[in-house]
Amino acid sequence: MYVHVPFCATRCGYCDFNTYTAGELGTSASPQSWLTAVRGELAIAACELAMLPTTTPQVATVFVGGGTPSLLGGGGLSAVLDAVRAEFTLAPDVEVTTESNPESTSQDFFARIRDAGFTRVSLGMQSAAAHVLRVLDRTHTPGRAVAAAREARAAGFEHVNLDLIYGTPGERTADLDASLDAVLAAGVDHVSAYSLIVEDGTALARRVRRGELPEPDDDVLAARYERIDARLRAAGFGWYEVSNWATDDSAVCRHNLGYWDGGDWLGVGPGAHSHIGGVRWWNVKHPARYADRVRAGGLPVGGWEALGDDERYMERVMLALRLRTGLPLADLASNATSAVDRIVADGRAVRAGADRLVLTDRGRLLADGVVRELLT
């Protein structure tokens, strides 16, 4: 289950997620009206799923994302998890994650959500360099993310993730090294690292278009990725998805693995996406419209699609290939044989155990191109 919290204190210049500041929402929506609507959607969804011909399974993972879930505070996030428990049965070993921005957390915050049943925290660090954070419009100080990670560990969280963004205009190799030093000093067991993408419609895209900032350079991004991978490997982390590293199998994010493995999930909240039984649907985006739909007694669906064989095949290849476990060769269409031979021959992938296609280190840098070749 994914629960979307659409609130942010400020808007980061690179972000194109479905988020809103208090000034943008005015009086049309609030955390209180959002939580009321989430409770309503959970109740309606539970009834709808109970009518499916198969038995509704236990919820294996819950991920509260955003936006900035930590703006709800420890009490607010506890209420969210209580609302989920009121309508759904959680598995005994359920993984419960919340995203958090370092500046809206504290020792008390982590203690409260740990007591409430959260098992994992993901913190948005992005960089340890102040000038890089300014370009990204991040408001926390460079050392706050590491301090928050330590506070989470002190509160009893075994599983803590730090997010990095690399390739920001103005970022130097020394800045990346400082960020990696900070990550490794924080004592976390999971790291996510994403190359900066200039998304249309964002403040960052407007600055690039005006010539104030350069576009991220592909060669620089590749060098940054290799540097991150080498440092993390040397520190005992292993990659299990192209952009994710963990200290061992217990530290991987089971929720995200569910997406990459093509599992079923229920998305709750404004703009959240769901996927069950080959049908995908998404909620209306604006929190006020979302709440209105729920108050009217129905699911707040904005649109849906039934995935055909072609779509399922494309997503299976695209997602499975990004994983360390790779793509079963048996899942590939017969006309992909020559592409597989070519990709293996030039060192972008290997046949692992003769039955799986796994990206090499070089192949991870070229993963999107490998996928396109396999699907052509």
User: Does one domain contain both 130 and 210?
Assistant: yes
User: Does one domain contain both 11 and 125?
Assistant: yes
Indicate whether 18 belongs to any domain: yes
Tokens in use for 163?
A: 């997010």
User: Does one domain contain both 207 and 356?
Assistant: no
Boundary (domain end) residue, out of 260, 276, 298? 260
User: Does one domain contain both 338 and 228?
Assistant: no
Tokens in use for 311?
A: 């779509």
Indicate whether 301 belongs to any domain: no
pLDDT at residue 19, as a whole number: 94
Distance, in Å, from the CA atom of 194 to the CA atom of 163, rounded to the nearest integer, reads 8
- Assess contact for 282 and 267: CB atoms under 8 A: yes
Indicate whether 358 belongs to any domain: yes
What is the total count of domains within the chain? 2
User: Does one domain contain both 29 and 152?
Assistant: yes
User: Does one domain contain both 176 and 91?
Assistant: yes
Indicate whether 232 belongs to any domain: yes
pLDDT for 276-314, tens place per residue? Answer: 989 999 999 999 999 999 999 999 999 999 999 999 999
Indicate whether 306 belongs to any domain: no
Distance, in Å, from the CA atom of 226 to the CA atom of 217, rounded to the nearest integer, reads 14
User: Does one domain contain both 251 and 335?
Assistant: no
User: Does one domain contain both 120 and 191?
Assistant: yes
Residue found by looking up tokens 């006309």 in the block: 335
User: Does one domain contain both 253 and 353?
Assistant: no
- Assess contact for 62 and 97: CB atoms under 8 A: yes
Nearest by Cα to 186 from 218, 154, 210? 154
Boundary (domain end) residue, out of 230, 260, 290? 260
Distance, in Å, from the CA atom of 160 to the CA atom of 149, rounded to the nearest integer, reads 7
pLDDT at residue 55, as a whole number: 67
Indicate whether 157 belongs to any domain: yes
Residue 326's domain comprises 322-375
pLDDT at residue 103, as a whole number: 93
pLDDT at residue 52, as a whole number: 82
User: Does one domain contain both 227 and 336?
Assistant: no
User: Does one domain contain both 214 and 144?
Assistant: yes
What CATH number does residue 37 fall under? 3.20.20.70
User: Does one domain contain both 49 and 154?
Assistant: yes
Indicate whether 245 belongs to any domain: yes
Boundary (domain end) residue, out of 233, 260, 287? 260
DSSP annotation of 259: H
Indicate whether 291 belongs to any domain: no
Enumerate residue ranges in the chain where pLDDT < 70: 55-56
Q: For the chain, where are the alpha helices, taking DSSP H only?
A: 22-25, 31-50, 73-87, 107-116, 130-135, 144-154, 173-185, 203-209, 218-234, 254-260, 287-295, 309-320, 337-345, 361-365, 367-375
Nearest by Cα to 243 from 194, 197, 198, 183? 194
pLDDT for 51-76, tens place per residue? Answer: 887 766 799 999 999 999 999 999 99
